Amino acid sequence: MSKFAFIIHPISLEDIFRKFNFMRKWPRPLVEGLIRRMPPLKVSEITGVASPHASTSGYFVSVSMTSDQMVNLPAGYTIKKIIKAGKHAEKLGARIVGLGAMTSVVGDAGVTVARNLNIPVTTGNSYTIATAMEGVERAAKLMGVNLEDAECAVIGATGSIGNVCARLMSQKGVRYLTLMARDKRKLEHAADNIYRETGTSVKVTSDIKKSLPRADIVVAVSGSEDTLVEPHDLKPGAVVCDVARPRDVSVSVAQKRDDVLVLEGGVVDVPGDVNFNFNFGFPPRTAYACMAETMILALEGKWESYTLGREISIDKVEKITGLAKKHGFKLAGFRSFEKAVTEEEIEKIRQRALIARQ
Ligand SMILES: NC(=O)c1ccc[n+]([C@@H]2O[C@H](COP(=O)([O-])OP(=O)(O)OC[C@H]3O[C@@H](n4cnc5c(N)ncnc54)[C@H](OP(=O)(O)O)[C@@H]3O)[C@@H](O)[C@H]2O)c1
């Protein structure tokens, strides 16, 4: 059976402390220095991925660096560590490797990593885009929001995922769209592209805090290591699909705002009796869409670097959606801050938002 591997990393030091509690008392710089010197590690074996057409198994391999380190240490250093993890995956017998969380964001989004490995690499971003869009459409419907009339925003709209999400939203008829990120020049370039593709004129802003309170629908997909969305930034009834890892939306939104719907983007049901043998905070048999893309490619025997770099074609998003359906992957139920959200709860949020708006 041909195997896959997926590269993960601790999102923050908290992930390290959960495993090595005694380190909590140590000075942070000491812990940070220690972990980033650790070699790549096989974290667990993933078994039982089975579609009606094929089956596969794989490994989680860890790069021992936090998101903060990945963003703030020189990209070359981080990329070397990711390549080492990829080589480790090769030795384990993987025929394809997926890049998780910030390992797909640093540097050139997997291009250099792929060039230095003998097996194909994918960021998983094509399927992440597909599931984020599907999630937004389903959630908007339940909250009674018509996407064509809604104020929509994409945070991280010049990024590999955010840019395609923005283009797809415009193609689906969204008329009021604001692209958000830090670099104004890149934002204007993205807006020009959308105008050329769909004839829709979209707004751009680097002042997220100012524009966010107007948004009915937010796709949050920045590469920021810090949260960008706080409780007071959202209007009653807003639907936020938080695709970013680490999250863009502060957990305090869950505590302080019961009139907005914040969903985790890209949570997928995996076919078969899959066991990840590792707890990444999801219910059994569910995974991130980027992990799922790696599994889909392994099941299909498509040993190619499917999604790399920051230019993702809509054609690839559509093709991976078709392959996902063929192999029995589908969007899981809604989740918010690591908890399941039922349609009844969504209805209650909608009612509270109606009252808050009066
Ligand atoms: N849930 C999943 O299954 C899944 C799968 C893949 C990736 N992801 C996550 O999705 C996120 C984006 O990935 P990507 O590959 O699209 O990254 P990317 O190509 O690097 O794009 C990042 C975007 O965020 C913007 N940005 C970065 N820092 C920012 C800040 N502090 N404030 C505002 N905007 C900021 C960037 O523009 P500027 O630099 O101009 O600000 C850019 O538009 C990451 O968190 C990644 O871990 C999740």
**pLDDT tens digits, one per residue of 231-282:** 999 999 999 999 998 899 999 999 999 999 999 988 999 999 999 999 888 8
The pLDDT value given to residue 262: 97
- Residues with pLDDT less than 70, the chain: 1
Among 208, 222, 242, 338, which residue has the most ligand 1 atoms within 8 Å of its CB, making it the best to mutate? 222
The pLDDT value given to residue 18: 87
Ligand 1 centroid distance, CA of 107 (Å): 12
The pLDDT value given to residue 95: 98
Contacts 24+ apart (CB under 8 A), 118-121: 118/90, 119/86, 119/89, 119/90, 119/94, 119/95, 119/303, 120/95, 120/96, 120/297, 120/303, 120/304, 120/305, 120/306, 121/86, 121/96, 121/97, 121/305, 121/308
Among 123, 182, 311, 329, which residue has the most ligand 1 atoms within 8 Å of its CB, making it the best to mutate? 182
The pLDDT value given to residue 8: 96
The pLDDT value given to residue 96: 98
The pLDDT value given to residue 19: 83
In a shared domain, residues 84 and 194: no
Structurally, the chain folds into a number of domains equal to 2
Q: Give dist(CA 83, CA 208) in Å, integer.
A: 34
Cβ neighbours around 93 below 10 Å, total: 14
pTM of the full structure: 0.94
DSSP 265-285: S-EEEPSEEEE-SS-SSS-TT
In a shared domain, residues 185 and 202: yes
The pLDDT value given to residue 266: 86
In a shared domain, residues 225 and 350: yes
Structure tokens at 138: 């389903």
The pLDDT value given to residue 225: 86
Q: Which residues line ligand 1 (CB under 6 A)?
A: 101-102, 104-105, 109, 124-125, 128, 156-162, 181-183, 186, 221-224, 228, 243-245, 265-266, 288-290, 310
Q: Give alpha helix (H) positions in 59-174.
A: 67-72, 75-92, 111-115, 125-142, 160-171
Containing domain of residue 202, as a range? 129-266+333-357
Cis peptide before 39 (omega within 30 of 0): no
Ligand 1 centroid distance, CA of 319 (Å): 23
The pLDDT value given to residue 349: 97
The pLDDT value given to residue 154: 98
In a shared domain, residues 256 and 305: no
